[in-house]
Amino acid sequence: MIKWLALENYDNLEINTIRKLNVQGVVVGDPFCSYRMFRYGDIDLFDFIKKCNQAGIQVIYQTPVYVTDRNFKYVTNSLEYLYEKLHVRKFLIQDVGLTDWLSKKYIDAEMIWSHWGRNRNSIMNHDFVAFLVDLGVRGIEISSMERIRAISEFGLSVYSVFGNTVYNTLSRDCYNQYMLDYYDGMCNRECLNKKMILKSKSIEMTINGHLLGRKIKYPLEKEFVGFVSQYSENLMVYALDYEEALEYL
């Protein structure tokens, strides 16, 4: 089984440090804002991928959750660079339009329907999976043991999620700016401040910029990894930071 490391932040994390976790690949690309994952955004991200390539570590790129007219060209330009210059072939994707563009642009790109797509469309039935297959999707991220077994029967590659992202709500805008008026438009990466909370009457939620009450929920079943290994060749290990990943890996 291939183990993939997916951290929320890779700042100052050396490739040799990643090797200690005994993973074969990494997931890079923040679903909302590149500056959350790397100090210098996409510039750091591209440099990190180059280092992974040199070290023989496989890479999956997580595309943005929201792809609209205002950022479509930037996203597609980034994907072209990742594919043609950095030789990335696996992409986590959850936007139908971008999926269609990518499948026609690069036939051998492996598109994996991400857990963000599953969260946006919680209906997972035969018709929906068949629709994804027709779009060119070859794999799918799944955290439920029951669904992992069912999806494997469709012939799709199953990417079993160890560490499922849960949240209360989300927005395509940064909460720090638009709800809290916390900064004047200059990104100071305040979203990484673990002490930030939003209080409203009896409700208290952590804020990380784009998600309210965001948590990573790990499976309670002790047999989870052993079970999914029967139906999946890929295990996606999500964690907030290196220390959390080290604990579970």
16-44 pLDDT, tens digit each:
999 888 999 999 999 988 898 999 999 99
Half-sphere exposure of 28 (CA within 13 A, CB side): 29
CB distance 214 to 208 below 8 Å: yes
Pair 172, 161 in one domain:
no
pLDDT at 167: 74
Is the pLDDT at 229 greater than 60? The verdict is: yes
Pair 34, 135 in one domain:
yes
Report d(CA 241, CA 244) in Å as an integer.
6
CB distance 138 to 157 below 8 Å: yes
Pair 49, 111 in one domain:
yes
Tokens representing residue 201 in the block: 């009457």
Pair 48, 109 in one domain:
yes
Q: Which residues, at least 6 apart from 129, have a Cβ–Cβ distance to it below 8 Å?
A: 140, 151, 154, 156
Pair 113, 223 in one domain:
yes
Pair 98, 54 in one domain:
yes
Q: The tokens 């916390």 sit on which residue?
A: 182
Is the pLDDT at 4 greater than 90? The verdict is: yes
Mean pLDDT score, 194-213: 61
Pair 89, 207 in one domain:
no
Report d(CA 23, CA 86) in Å as an integer.
20
CB distance 157 to 231 below 8 Å: no
Nearest partner of 182 among 204, 209, 202, judged by Cα: 209
Using DSSP bridges, classify how beta strands 169-170 and 211-212 pair: parallel, antiparallel or unpaired. Answer: antiparallel
pLDDT at 111: 96
CB distance 37 to 10 below 8 Å: yes
Please give the model's pTM, rounded to 2 decimal places.
0.84
Pair 136, 236 in one domain:
yes
Half-sphere exposure of 210 (CA within 13 A, CB side): 16
Domain of residue 19, residue span = 2-166+216-248
CB distance 6 to 238 below 8 Å: yes
When divided into structural domains, the chain yields a total of 2
CB distance 212 to 175 below 8 Å: yes
Chain segment 139-197, per-residue pLDDT in tens: 999 988 888 888 888 778 999 999 988 776 655 567 666 666 666 667 777 777 766 66
Q: What share of the chain is helix, strand, coil (3-state, %, to 5)?
A: 35, 25, 40
Chain segment 88-146, per-residue pLDDT in tens: 999 999 999 999 999 999 999 999 999 888 655 556 778 888 888 999 999 999 988 88
Pair 99, 124 in one domain:
yes
Pair 140, 236 in one domain:
yes
CATH of the domain at 61: 3.20.20.70
Pair 57, 162 in one domain:
yes
Pair 181, 236 in one domain:
no
